[in-house]
Structure 1
Amino acid sequence: MLFYIISLIVIAIDQLSKLWVRSSMVVGGSRPFLDPYVHFEYYQNTGAAFSSFQGYGKLFVVFAVFVTAVIIYYRTKGVLKGTWMELATGFLVGGAIGNAIDRVLFGKVTDFIVLGRMTGIMNIADIAINIGIVAIILSVIFRREPKQSYS
């Protein structure tokens, strides 16, 4: 259940934040927020991270659907279990679906978060995807295997 709750929360926050940006900022516009650590800059990305693969955004919709289907399949098989894996996959799927919604509805993703002096612009879905990937890696690294008895 945690997987679905996290996914839905991420999608909702992502879509509401993008709606706010699209309705209150102009493309290329900037707004201070917690300067110098974070500021908002409205950008529309038709590609992937760091503006790579411009114009191929529709392919990422297919990829997002594939990743979501694979995660749900392995969850139902009991392979992806435990609280950390529920959280991790919830963030990953929520972020993937959040960006896929933008690509389907608008043909591009609304990016607006700039951290510190970074040159990349991201959104809540991107942050969720990164949290999900890091959490999956940590979950795999620190997974506790059941002790086997050798009797």
Structure 2
Amino acid sequence: MPDVAGNSAVTERGTGQGSLVWFALAVAIVVLDQLTKTWFNTEFRFGEVREVIPGFFNFTLLYNPGAAFSFLADAGGWQKYFFTALAFGVSGWLGWNIIKKRFSALMNLAAAFIMGGAIGNVIDRMIHGHVIDFIQLHYYQSWYYPAFNLADSFICVGAVLMVIDSFRHPAGQ
């Protein structure tokens, strides 16, 4: 669609999708994340492992006081407030850009995924003092990927969608 000057550089940004759709998606992600964490936290004992796909995929209950891959897990407690502030800051910035229609539909989807995941993990930090993780990927007994949860998955998928969108809509174009 051409802009006022007749340029066709204006893309799908600000298309008909209302902001509420993206915020509703973020809320749905938070709810789904919290429901799964509550279920695992009540149905599993800490450290319990239940094999789902032998040699590849387990459910387990682990607690992460740090960030991704237990980064800063032993930092003494300040990291809880730092990651909470970071999650609110990033979510606020993403939400503001959704409201101002500065993002494409794909970027709005990415932002909703990231906001939902970030807030889901913030809720854990505030209620439990740590994030509840329960998904464990591994290669038999020789390699284990750090345990994660649905919020982490949504954050990662959102980040990948942001990268894809950046190739579709380079900055300044």
- Global fold match (TM > 0.5): yes
Structure 1: tracts of 5 or more residues without a match: none
RMSD, aligned CA: 1.8
Structure 1, 54-63 or 89-98: larger mean CA deviation: 54-63
Counterpart mapping for 1:105-144 below 5 A: 105-117=127-139, 118-143=144-169
Write out per-residue CA displacement over residues 93-131 of structure 1, whole angstroms, 9 at most, x where no aligned residue: 000000000001111000110123333100000000000
Counterpart CA distance in 1 for 2:132 and 2:70 is 12
Query: Taking CA–CA contacts closer than 8 Å with sequence separation of 6 or more, which of the two structures ends up with the larger relative contact order?
Result: 1
Q: How does 1:87-98 map to 2 (within 5 A)?
A: 87-98=109-120
Write 1 or 2 for the structure with the bigger share of helix: 1
SS of 1:100 mapped into structure 2? helix
TM-score under structure 1 length normalisation? 0.88
CA spacing shift, 1:99–1:137, aligned 2, 3 Å = same
Highest CA radius of gyration, 1 or 2? 2
How many residue pairs end up in the alignment?
145
The amino acid of 2:43's aligned partner reads S
Q: Which amino acid aligns with 2:99?
A: T
Deviation (angstroms), 1:33: 1.9
Match of 2:107 among 72, 85, 101: 85
Q: Structure 2, unaligned stretches of length 5 or more?
A: 1-19
Q: Which secondary structure does the structure 2 equivalent of 1:32 belong to?
A: strand
Shift of 1:87: 1.1
1:74 to 80, 97, 100: 97
Where in structure 2 are the equivalents of 1:2-151 lying within 5 Å?
Answer: 2-54=21-73, 55=77, 56-80=79-103, 82-117=104-139, 118-143=144-169
Aligned position for 2:6: none
When structure 1 is superposed on structure 2, of 97-106 and 69-78 the one drifting more is 69-78
Q: Name the TM-score, length of structure 2 as normaliser.
A: 0.77
